[in-house]
Structure 1
């Protein structure tokens, strides 16, 4: 490719002007409002999808996951690979490479606009929490397969809040690295430990962006269960934390602390009163059972990578419930921990009712989850010699539910004991 044959506005620029244009190009990318979608008119954002709209949106979704999102990932890698000292330096800058960076910057802008425009066109979401609730709770889109509003909202959420959020540090580090390379001769560069690590940071953020892009693609064309499992992954580590916190709260005090006042003992971060300690100990098996269930639901044969169906007959409201149920359960556990500390410091006749109410909510959430799993996912388990059959999986869930009922019964007994004999 000749230097002047491309017809680009920067073809006739000298080296210094090219370098200045590259810096300006990164500044332009940094200045993109990465928290907001394109200025596409809001009336193009759909609040519902008809059959005709489904047919017209399918090519847009296909282009998003097969062309535009992979293209953005490739363009980011081009930027990263272009910013290397051997080809960009203050001594002998490569004009062709500078033009490649400028062209890639322009293409990234265009790709981002195209992606945002298409997402706005196919996703029935405008903005704000009211829109999210109305969209993800649709009960009439079970037939729309890849275009259920729950999935489409997640695509929009991932791109605008994950991919685009990472773009700002990507371009900031790229600009810093470029400025470093073109202004400081290689033989004058300080040891890496003594200068800003633009290269390391750029590599890290581009890796994060690539991961977010890959997951956005997977959300467009992947199984519904996998989308829910991704939500669960963010919450499951908290359950290990809850168990550790409960173990610490119920750890017996050392002999040297026995003579302290109740208030001083509580300041050590442990529960003091026996009936409250018993309630706390009986929360632990409930948490372990919940953790066990969601780990089970994330492995074979429930692993979507093992030929699990892409779509079910679930509507967006059900999918939303499935995906976010673990977060709501996690919030219930946090409430229980707060109630433990409250109960240990001062008896309130209503606390026992609060304990019971929270645990009933938790059980209701798990019942709802089990029903969805049994209705829509267990029937899709493929019977093989190597992995459990549908009947085996159902039997496991029945056994698990029996253990949960027993654990909750024991918890309720401890709460009643606390109510009758608080301290």
Structure 2
């Protein structure tokens, strides 16, 4: 791996002045390696954030008062062909490569190496966009320089073709950059979170042979989408995957443990803790997204639909996790590797309580009963029931964590 510190310092000057005026996040809780990885991710994020403006400016008129260099050997028609047949396809190829490197459905083994690759691709985009901007300026010469022809048809055609190229560029950005931007924003928040350190984040999703990890894979893909409409568009599949994960827990619960094989026992405990941690986070994110969307006063019917469909799953899942932890609590002293996931769960539980309080005190009172159905009481009872189960699980997790700490002393 390359020298992370020098790499970041080399690119740090690209930060905008406005970024420097913002309060820097507290990175003291992160390890040095994670801090440097976070700084790289910030740079990748900034580049993505500025990419749309860079692409737009490729067709924006120069505002510095200077004239574009005119090459009399190249006609405007040839410049049109160059942009349409060469430069835009090259841009398309590089944007596709940028998006493919993100691969939101595949976990990254080495974040530093991945960020270096992304930065290299982003650097390749700048000269290509500069060529497009130069060609545009040469096609759209200043009014002070008369066209070689007064043919109004050609001028109209020029306007139409430039507009067409602008639309092509916009579609390229929409197709390739937005998904990468959303994933980078998600990853940025995860790296900075005190509940996730980069090595652990990679380890959680690395067990591709695990049934639990395989089930969680589809759920984490949904987590990475920042827009709430993803829930609506993928509602059926999301619920199916959620139920699949519940069935996995139930299967583990009934299968029991092999007391003689402690190493295998430790691995099972770690898988359960990791999965329970993700379920806690998924539930919190789901509730938060529902809360934010419903407060817009435009999606209450969908809120009722998705929540009703998940009541049994959301109520049964904490029971299943809790019963599982109760069964193995006596053996936790042999599984010291589980301590960090347990600490993470207790931290997430506190965050969830905040979301729950917001829902009870602000959302439920605003719900209006419809068609004789006591909607408000329905949601209040559902939220209270689910929260009671979550608290029960949290208490058991805290007891398990205490057992581990006692074992170390």
Give the TM-score, by structure 1 length.
0.31
**Structure with higher RCO (Cα < 8 A, 6+ apart):** 1
Q: Which has the higher helix share?
A: 2
